Amino acid sequence: MTNGEFYNWRRQLLAPLGPNPGHTALAEMERTLSAHFTLVTQNIDGLRQRAGSTNVIELHGNLWRVRCIRCRKVYEDKTSPLPPLPACNSCGALLRPHVVWFGESLDPQVLNAAYEAIQNCALMMVIGASGTVQPAASMGVEAKRYGATVAKINLEPTPFSDIYTISIMGKSGEILPRLSCRHEVRNVALLRSKQKTVSCKLSS
């Protein structure tokens, strides 16, 4: 299977899927907190944006975007499947998925934006992450080092669970809707925000 065939297969799997209640709850939190909320994700499926989130930092890119290998232009293309040799509409060169492949480095600008959010947040929720894929795995630890309250929401413990301020076991799709409607959580996030960001990392 070629790279193109593999990513077309993934597009076809993801195309019929929609956001879950956890994604919707995060979008509601962003609407409540406005500029105080940043969502940092390792996922490439675009479901957070489909749920309504707008301030999203995608560490590993987005499956529904393509990037020219010559001029580096990035744009959205939800065609499924893509043609075998998709061409850039600007320069005609080959397009590739705008995702981070194994062995590639993360985009420094994207990574810097994530760390800026993390280092300036008062509250960080680490949701559904296994705690094994770096550098995302240690971002919650970084936020705590800068003084943030860090809440972990996951089905099972991770290597960093004991370090975080709060650990909640369960499904994010059940827990997040309950959190999003609690005015106490909103008020704490707003009052304790050191600058402008409540940062949330979602991996499920």
Catalytic machinery residues:
60
Task: Dump the DSSP string for 151-167.
Answer: EEEESS--TTTTTSSEE
Query: 172: burial class by Cβ within 10 Å (0-12, 13-18, 19+)?
Result: buried
Tell me the Ramachandran region of residue 103: left when phi exceeds 0, alpha when psi lies from -120 to 50, beta otherwise: left
Q: How far is CA 16 from the centre of its chain?
A: 20
Residue 203 structure tokens:
């991996």
Integer Cα distance of 113 and 133 in angstroms: 18
Distance CA 67, CA 15 (A): 20
Residues 6 or more apart whose CB falls under 8 angstroms from that of 160 comprise 126, 131, 137, 138, 140, 141, 152
